[in-house]
Structure 1
Amino acid sequence: MNGQVIFIDDEAAIRQAVQQWLELSGFSVRTCDSAQQALNLIDRHFAGVVISDVRMPGIDGLSLLEQLVALDAELPVIMVTGHGDVPMAVQALRQGAYDFIEKPFTPERLLDSVRRAQDKRRLVCENRQLREQFQRKDRIESQLLGVSRAMETLRRQVLELAGTSVNVLLRGETGSGKERVARCLHDFSRRAAKPFVALNCAAIPETIFESELFGHESGAFTGAQGKRIGRIEHADGGTLFLDEVESLPLAQQAKLLRVLQERTFERLGSNRSIQVDLRVISAAKPDLLDEARAGRFREDLVYRLNLAELHIPPLRERREDIPVLFEHFAAQAAERHGREAPALAPAELAHLLGHDWPGNVRELINAAERHALGLSGHSSPPASDQSLAAQLEAFEAQCLHKALQQCRGNIGEVMALLQLPRRTLNEKMQRHGISRQDYLPAGAEDD
């Protein structure tokens, strides 16, 4: 396909002729008989070209042009008229029209204008996408901290999935940051302006689970005073995050499956169906298919929840992130308590890198808070059984990451800072899977 076109004209014969011409040339064409119909189809993300007659009942072409320019000043709009009105053509071009074509026109004249307009629109959309990618990359790096390859991969996967509406299953150990990842999937999606509703399935007693999830009407059960909006209804238009979803009672699993299949549900005590539009992100520690084989989870629900799966790496598998995370959380804690965070001594850093962190990021946050309060000496994490060589490797990788970040990818400055020759630096970066490109300023080119 060469691109998308929306053609507006109140004459059916002209709409049909133009549609045939453009489709024979490989364009995807949508015709409208009024400006209002077209406005309902177009937003700032429309990647095509608009062609509109000028003289139409209701909203005329110039009024439509005014509204489209206000929506997106870079949207190519080609105006068509059969009246040969030169002042009108000048006015349309001044208002932001891309081109002005007089009836009767040949297919070649129209196709030439549409092709040029589509080329322009493609460049505009590509440049916007690149800018948005840089902006999103900067923003997500402040949300999902870490310099390890595992975290770079996770950030890329989150941004890719955030642009879709598929349900996502997060797998990871306790404290690894599953809710933070779920929040990023919501915040970087088109649902970001709508609610993000989190529910820990293991924390809700089974007796009130249905009411919590689906809500209830007044008098639905003893003690039900007044109507209650459930979590599903509250998440309408946004995202529902089900943490520890393996703890979801079997009876509620069947009802959740129906919501995902039919996009409707009923409050407890009501027969009225309510439509809902939501994305479900769930998190689990065990393999849900293993839970299904054991009879504790519905297999059909697993496939509905797990259209895409993300693995959240434990902290022990990304040790080079430990100093960055520790410094960040210690600085936050110090600011909360109105004091300066004490410097991290080499021996303390060695302890941090040597610990296996069974509680993952949550445990690290606790250690950073104690450090900020001057209590870290009372709770230094014990050294793990990891070899000295492995601990030194993790520390070396962290030093490289920090130097590249500080020097914004300038290899000459990194060589001077770390006092390393170019060949040695290259070998170390290659061994740790570190790319200079990841540290260059946005828009800079690698040499």
Structure 2
Amino acid sequence: MASQPNRTTAPSADPDALARREVTRMLKGPVAERFKSLIPPLAAHGDPYKTIMDSPELLDACFKLFRLKREAFADFLVDPADQPVGDDTTRLRCGRSVQEIIGMAVRTGMRTYAEAHFGDPITPPKTKAAQPPIPRKPPHGRLLRLVNVDKIAGLFRRNYGQPKPLPAGQTQSGRFYASIKDNLDYEWQVRFFPIYVEIPPHVFDRLGTGITRMDTEERLQLLAQLALTDINKAEHVIKDPDLFREMLENNVLASATVSHLGEEAFENVHGALEHLDPQKKWNVLANKDTAIRLHEDKRITKNDIAALADYLDILNEYALDAIFDLKLNRDQMQMFLKTAEDNLGRQMFMALFGPIQSVMPDDHEEQQKLRRYQTYTQTALRSLVSAVKQLDDNLRKSGSEGSIEECLGTVCRARRPDLEKEMKKLAPPHMA
């Protein structure tokens, strides 16, 4: 058989790499120009893309502008068949979804911010620099100054340890970015860039998305206040590595509850919540005081937990007590809470029945305001429940018809105007 001539086949281009290049081209070119036309100050800059990526505040503003004026980008938001795309998950003609493109932009912004913060490049230079890098603090606009960077960063270093020595062949920014890049996906993460760069890289290596899923300053501070020993103990209590990873990916704050409960109590409470989707389940367990009460209050059974599951991630422990003080059966529990929410309105319902803020302001006067507000809401809840009890008793004694939900609705409607007036007066500025 005659030998065949050697043929060299050119490797086919990686579709993923092609999509990344196309998205980058679009962002640097036509998309950046569109933002330039919508944001007048950008007109003075020759490279609007670089200007946006150099400023977390400007990047955050661009995300907000996109959400506000999505129609201004309609010509980019089409699928491969040139059909309009109105959601964030459908693949666009460029090969990525809006959600994926946002993640790419957030990671690019974080990379730029890290290089500015640490004063060295992500990729080590081929020749050693004559002078060591000089970190320079990136400018913080008004939005980013609202985050208490120094306090939260200090808590992370105190409770999780100082950064470990830098390995040979790595830069400070390179080590940091490698530890965080796979955990960045959402536009709201931009405002936390100044905190992220202060967290030691080994903490990201350990917790990953557990940090970057904390979507408020309060939740980040609660995580910073946790000791690493609590998280390690929670891992020991949970035992199952996949279940522990599930907790980290959904709500690492649940580790404080898990470590407190111990193995047997955790198994009981977790078993009653297993039917929930993972995020809801771990949010319930992160609602620490209420979650602990589920085990410690002997009136509460697994079936009760299942009946209340839809509300347990937001219900405070005093509201939980109220439900059992009223001796509601399982069929009434959810209806009772829904009736309260419908008649009080969501904001008032959350003020009385929802989570109690545990992170205290640094300012003494603000602390006092918050405590007065919390005392009032707890007193108002107890008074409301007492009034429902009394109305229900009176109806029973008179032989009148009426359910506990109807009694609750009547009391809520009657008290709502005065409650709103008083709470508006007492609410701290950040809760008004």
Q: TM-score scaled by structure 1?
A: 0.23
Larger radius of gyration: 1
Name the structure, 1 or 2, with higher relative contact order (CA <8 Å, separation 6+): 1
The structure richer in strand per residue is 1
